[in-house]
Structure formats: structure tokens, C-alpha cells
Homo-oligomer: A and B are copies of this chain.
Amino acid sequence: MIQKKNEHWFSMLFIWRGSVLPQLLPRLSLLFLISVGIVVLKGTLFNFKIPLSPAPFTLFGIALALFLGFRNSASYDRFWEARKLWGALLNDTRSLARQAITFSGYHRDGKEVDTFLKYLIAFTYALKHQLRGTDAAEDLRKRLDPVLAEKLSTAIYKPIMLMKEMGIWVQQAKENGKIDTILQTAFDENLNKLSDIVGGCERIASTPIPYTYHILLHRTVYIYCFLLPFGFVDSLSWLTPFIVIFIAYTFVALEAIADEIEEPFGLEPNDLALNAMSEMIETTLLEMGGKPIPDYGKNKLGILD
């Protein structure tokens, strides 16, 4: 994710990086050229005047803006829900760490606690890799006991299998007389929440906005923009290409952003900073456990990726 800088209002008009403009440039250039052609031909095609006026464009442009607004809100809601889930992951792993550290006598002899913290950290990385479809092996090997890392390597749902290990850890703490069943259920409630987080992320990753919406809106936005020059050539004359590009840029860019943030677990510039967030969770859990913290060179609120 690209971070906001406090730009001057004027210089912000010319920002390039972080804008979707670069990726849209080819199609906007094409539209510009077509508009120029239409201006030159004065809105005729094969000596045939195209009888388009601004009226239907006004009507339809506003309707289109409304539908695009819906698509945009739905995409943003997915992005923000995904962020909330990763925020909840931070909160919940911290709560589980606090329980492991303070309940029972473990906060005096940290060995068992260390194992639990490792599970939590490995869980976070495993979830990140599952959502991105990347290979978790290396991150798990670095953080887990080799036997467990090996066992997990063939698991389909690695984070869930790690949660099972956490459940067994809690059960053994009870059998060792460190906690009683009451504290076990306190752990268990936070494990339930962890399960909700995993499933919530899987839901967003696996169920996009119905594809028909994509097609319908994509189609209407582009046909609309490519018809625009015909509608305005009579009234705007040589200014047509500039105004058309200005209007088309907004519509097309909004559709492109909505498309990007709709899948918030990807690797595009506006997707969530899963790397930075995983490292932040690792940092805060290690700090709670009084362990040395790796230097990830990131700011502590975990914005940049």
C-alpha cells in the first residue's frame, strides 16, 4: 500500500506514482485519438452525420455514476472488512499471548509460552501465504519446530492445523495443572475468534462480487466513454478530446480502483500490506514475550509494504 503524504493541493494534481493513471494511459490515449478523429470529421462517419446530442449522455451519465457508486462502495467495503479482519487478528493474537503469559505460572518460566507465541506468529504467516496463494514453507520453517513444520507442509488448511496445535497446547497446560478448565475456556473463546478471522478472510478471498456486475459495468463504462465524443463534438468542437478524456478518466479510473481493491489480499499497489502487518504482529508478540525483536525497518504502525 502506498502511504499518504501531505502534499500541497496544487502539486497533488500532477502526482504520478500511486495513481492508476499509468495503467490506464493506453486506453485513454486510444480514446483521445478517436476523439481527435471525430473532431476532424466533424462527427460524421463515411460522410454520414452521427446525430448524437448531449441529452442522452446526461441522463445516462448520471445513472452510470450511480451504478458505479454502488460497485465502488461494495469494493471498498470488502477492502475495509479485510483490513478489519487483519486488525482483529492483531488484537486476538495479542489477547492469546497475554493469556498464555499471565495465566498460570508460565510467566515465570517462559519456555512453554515461547512455543505458544511461535504458534501464533507462524499462524499469521501461514494465513498470509494461504490468502496470497504463495508458499508458506520457508516462513514456517524459520519459526517452528522442524517436525511440526514438516507435518504442516502437506496440510491444505495450514492455519487451521496450527490452531489445532494451539488447542492441544492449552489442553496439555490443563493436564499439567497449570490452568484449570475455566481458564481453558478463556483461551478457547479467543481460539473461536481466530477461527472466525480465518474464515472471514477465506470468504473475501474466495467469493468476489458477482461476476455479472463486472461485465455489465465494465461494458457500459467503456461503451459510454467511446460514444462521448460523438455527443459533444457539435457543442464543444476542438475542445471535445480534452473534455472527453477528463470525463472518461474519472469513470474509467474509478472502475479500475474498484477492481483493484475488491481483491484486497493481492499484490497490486492498493492492496493490503499483509507483509508489514504480519511483521507488526510478530514484533508486538515478541515484545510481549520479552524476546529480541527482528529489525524489519518499518514504522511501528505497519503501513508500508
Which A residues form the contact surface with B (CB < 8 A)?
1-4, 9-10, 12-13, 15, 18-20, 27, 50-67, 69-70, 72-74, 76, 79, 83-84, 87-88, 90-92, 94-95, 98-99, 101-103, 107, 155-157, 160-161, 163-164, 167-168, 170-171, 180-186, 188-192, 195-196, 198-200, 202-203, 205-208, 210-216, 218-220, 222-223, 227, 232, 235-239, 243, 246-247, 249-251, 253-254, 257, 260-261, 269-270, 272-273, 283-284, 287-288, 293, 300-303
Contacts and interface: CB of A to CB of B under 8 A. Distances in A.
Contacts of A12: 214-215, 218-219
Contact of A257 (B216, B220, B260): B216
Nearest to A170: B102
The binding surface of chain A is classed by DSSP as helix
> Chain copies in the assembly?
5
Nearest to A79: B210
Contacts of A99: 167, 188
Contacts of A254: 67, 216
Given A87-B202, A95-B195, 14 more contacts: A2-B212, A4-B211, A9-B27, A13-B223, A59-B61, A69-B70, A99-B188, A102-B164, A102-B168, A103-B171, A157-B300, A181-B182, A205-B301, A216-B254
B101 A210 contact: no
Contact of A156 (B27, B90, B284): B284
A257 B210 contact: yes
Contacts of A18: 211-212, 215
Best-buried of A99, A164, A208, A287 by chain B (most CB within 10 Å) = A164
Contact of A206 (B15, B67, B196, B303): B303
A54 B54 CA distance: 11
A183 B172 CA distance: 15
Contacts of A95: 191-192, 195
B156 A216 contact: no
